[in-house]
Structure 1
Amino acid sequence: MDELSTLAASHLIEQYHNELKIYLIQHNHSPDTAEDILQDAFIRLVQAKPGGEIKNPRAFLYKIVSNLAIDYHRSHKRRQNRHADESELVELTDQTPSLEHQIYTQEQLTFLKRAISELPPKCRQVFILHKFRFYPYSKIMQELNISESTVLKHMVKAMQHCRKRMSELDLD
């Protein structure tokens, strides 16, 4: 077989169609993708100029299909990488808070600082040690020489006061 006519290529594809489709599906291609690759193989067969006699048409066809499957896989992977890069960019830009959000956050921080400054000194000290310096109650008890119930009372009072003041910000 020197050159493949359209009729010969069509006959060859038809003859090995099911076998090639199973081969492609076994190599992780969907049935639709397998059909697309087989159509491309037909076009390649018609355009092929082997430069000599094709001694084993089946092997020649398998080689074309195999190369097309590799090309498809590479192309698909490039598209996925491009989409992944685009989604990473979207994620990066989405991470930046809006100016409105930044201003609101600054306002909340100012309100919280004001609320903490309004607390009685011992209550403020307990609250700051626990919430900002991450001291456990036992360490606060030792450092300030107060009982656990006193630490709890100060924390409850501080939390109630801060919540009340922060809710006033939301009402404005």
Structure 2
Amino acid sequence: MLEKLFTQHAPALHRYLLRKKCSPSLASDLVQDTFLRIAQLESLERVLCAPSYLFRVAHNLMIDHHRRFGEKRYENDSTAFFATLVDETSCPEEQALGALELEHLESLLERMPARTRDVFMLCRVEGMTHKETARYLRISTSSVQKHMAMALARIGRALEPDQEG
């Protein structure tokens, strides 16, 4: 049963980790570690019913790895990340609109101070808590809150209908 799970989900897990800015070898290692963790479960029914559990385990292993070794999970140039967000299953018009919205957001992020952009990417893209982000960037939690407020205010102002970025 574990072999079937691996065959079904390992390629998708690997792609997911690559989109999260893991190197190919790290992504492969984390996929293997994910299935080692799954193998230790008393019952695989939980995983069979909810394959998203695999992705959560892989994501947590990635976060643990980056905390332990202090690597950045994304590059300051967010272009590669935003390129992965366009929904290729939607119609061409929706893809084009989505790509334009992502370009606009990417442009906004590029104009933000580096620290504010890093805090936003870690909290909103990587899903880290304020406390985790503070520890990762070696700043205070209140600084994280300040940078998030600044980033969200800038994005909010830029998205107002009568504003031009």
TM-score (norm 2): 0.42
Could you say which structure has the larger radius of gyration? 1
Where relative contact order (Cα < 8 A, 6+ residues apart) is larger, the structure is 1
TM-score normalized by the length of structure 1:
0.40
